[in-house]
Chains A and B, each alone.
Chain A
Amino acid sequence: MNKPSKDWLKGALSAYDTVVIGSGLAGMTSANLLAKLGHKVLLAEHHYNMGGMATWFKRKGGHIMDISLHGFPCGMIKTLRKYWSQDISSRVIQLKNVRFENPQFSLTTSFDKTDFTRILREHFGILKEVVDEFFVTARGMNFYDDMVMTTRDLFEKYFPGRTDVWRFLMEPITYANGSTLDDPALTYGIVFSNFMDKGVFTYQGGTDHLIKEMKRELIKNGVDIRTHCMVEKIYVEDKSVRGVRINGQDIQCRSVLSNSNLLTTIEQLTGEEHFQPEFIKEVKKVRLNNSSCQVYMGIKKGETVPNVGDLLFTSSADEYCTEKILSKDITSRTFSFYYPEIRPGSNRYSIVSSTNARYQDWASLSESQYKKDKHDLEQNTLDALDKYVPGIRDKVDHVEASTPKTFKRYTLHPSGTSFGTKFEGLKISRDLPKQIDGLFHAGSVGIIMSGWLGAANYGVIVANETDKFLRQVSPTLVTASA
């Protein structure tokens, strides 16, 4: 290891109530809440930027690229108000043009229940009673339902053989959280219903503005934020958390709330030897979710792009198919259009193409092949986009791709997973504190707890558990704020 050029932990305390590992939306939200509840919180982020997957980057020519900004449910307004601030919450705006282009259909929707009902009836010819019953079923699904029924079963039940309807209902959710037809139906039902409430939303000001505002709140509430700080180890003694090692330095703490990947938290940071063997057996069954490729296209200063939709789901595949969606031979792309309204006053445009992808497909390539494939990805994406924004090649002056390897480098998630783990990870995540006192995890585990809203809310749920734990071990904290 190189000698660190700067001491990023300078001035840190020797002990904290909680060390939060990672500043994704779950990590930041839990850190903020715990600090507001009166606890001493250290938030450690290995990267120089905060936000985890809720991040952005800048490039020459005044370009700002958002990684995951577009398209969260309206519930985010309430979550931002309650756990962050009214100001942050008031910047949430609706994306009204959600567009589909594929061999089966071509349409635009405001992506809410009223409009979906209309389209399902008028465009797809589904009976009103069936549509209504489908919505009731999806809405009625909850956390405690059985997991035997898959989304495919659900669709087959209400729309037998209608692969066009399946695609209409599924493609956006795959984009939002990486779920597929073979995941439990309830994970689809809950997320779909969240969106259908009022539509899809984004944050006016861009990811950079949001994270800056969140950082301000965290500091105001007393969170000790440390970027460039890699948590290397969680110390456990007598089945209790004792501390962490950050950048080679030991820091004591009574609890750890890890927003690192679930498996990394257990296997690498804590160590399997601290858990019961039966628990580890279950851990081994947890599947990682897939990763993504993205292509970021910056539009030249002064150039414009007509409004061709806020989110554009395109595919050249005959039908919706999980295998094809993950294939390196890309047929399906979701374009997020960032018009100047997203950053008022900037008068700039950017477009981000997202595609689900497998880590192995990219990690196994030689360096030269990787470079070539990445270049091809950029060029093929421009070709695909030209159909919807004619002359796109003359409008862009920056094009850049990311692959699952890129995601891994910046988030440290195993296999670059961009949607955490599959559903079985949730139980493991919830059960961590039963194995080790003071060890908590909040992060993408199984679709419900994924995406911006799911991550932030899961951060709150776990912060509540952490607060409960801390007050039990230290009753003096009582009514610190009363």
Chain B
Amino acid sequence: MTIEEVRQIILNILADIAPDEDISSIDDNTKLRDQIDLDSMDFLDIVMELRKRFNIEVPEKDYEHLATMAGCVSYLTPLLKGRSMAS
């Protein structure tokens, strides 16, 4: 999966979790929760979705990597290497 594809996956997940938010203009280097209305339950949803869709387990100590889009992409890209964008 390419970096762009990984980014798209995160956007898809965010769109499901926060359907009322405009996610098209997300800045990759600013904290997600400063740009859209996300609480700790929403971050838990992201973790659950990653497990469900790709069998990726994000341990609690790594949650901080999910704070920005850039962080998500750099954390997840190696984990999704060689996978296709099936879901």
- From residue A465, how far is it (CB to closest CB) to chain B in Å? 10
A165 and B48 alpha carbons, distance in the complex (Å): 42
User: Which residues of B lie under 8 Å from residue A1 when comparing CB positions?
Assistant: none
- In the complex, the answer to whether B87 meets A467 with C-beta atoms within 8 Å is no
- From residue B53, how far is it (CB to closest CB) to chain A in Å? 6
- In the complex, the answer to whether B48 meets A37 with C-beta atoms within 8 Å is yes
Which of B17, B41, B55 interacts with A478 by CB under 8 Å? Answer: B55
- In the complex, the answer to whether B57 meets A468 with C-beta atoms within 8 Å is yes
Given contacts A82-B17, A461-B44, contact A37 B57 (CB under 8 A): no
Q: Mark A466-482, 1 if CB is under 8 A from B, else 0.
A: 01100100010011111
Which of B17, B39, B47 interacts with A464 by CB under 8 Å? Answer: B47
A148 and B19 alpha carbons, distance in the complex (Å): 40
If over half of A's interface residues share one DSSP class (helix, strand or loop), that class is named, otherwise mixed; here it is: helix
Is A154 positioned at the interface, with any CB of B under 8 Å from its CB? no
User: Which residues of B lie under 8 Å from residue A82 when comparing CB positions?
Assistant: 17, 41, 45
A118 and B17 alpha carbons, distance in the complex (Å): 34
Count residues on chain A whose CB falls below 8 Å from chain B CBs. Answer: 19
User: Which residues of A lie under 8 Å from residue B17 when comparing CB positions?
Assistant: 82
Q: Chain B: which residue is nearest A457 at the CB level?
A: B41
Q: Chain B: which residue is nearest A33 at the CB level?
A: B48
- In the complex, the answer to whether A467 meets B44 with C-beta atoms within 8 Å is no
A205 and B52 alpha carbons, distance in the complex (Å): 33
Is A357 positioned at the interface, with any CB of B under 8 Å from its CB? no
A37 and B41 alpha carbons, distance in the complex (Å): 17
Is A79 positioned at the interface, with any CB of B under 8 Å from its CB? yes
Chain A residues 438 to 482 lying within 8 A of chain B, measured CB to CB, are 457, 460-461, 464, 467-468, 471, 475, 478-482
- From residue A26, how far is it (CB to closest CB) to chain B in Å? 14
CB-based closest 7 A-B pairs? A478-B55, A482-B87, A482-B86, A464-B48, A482-B53, A479-B55, A464-B44
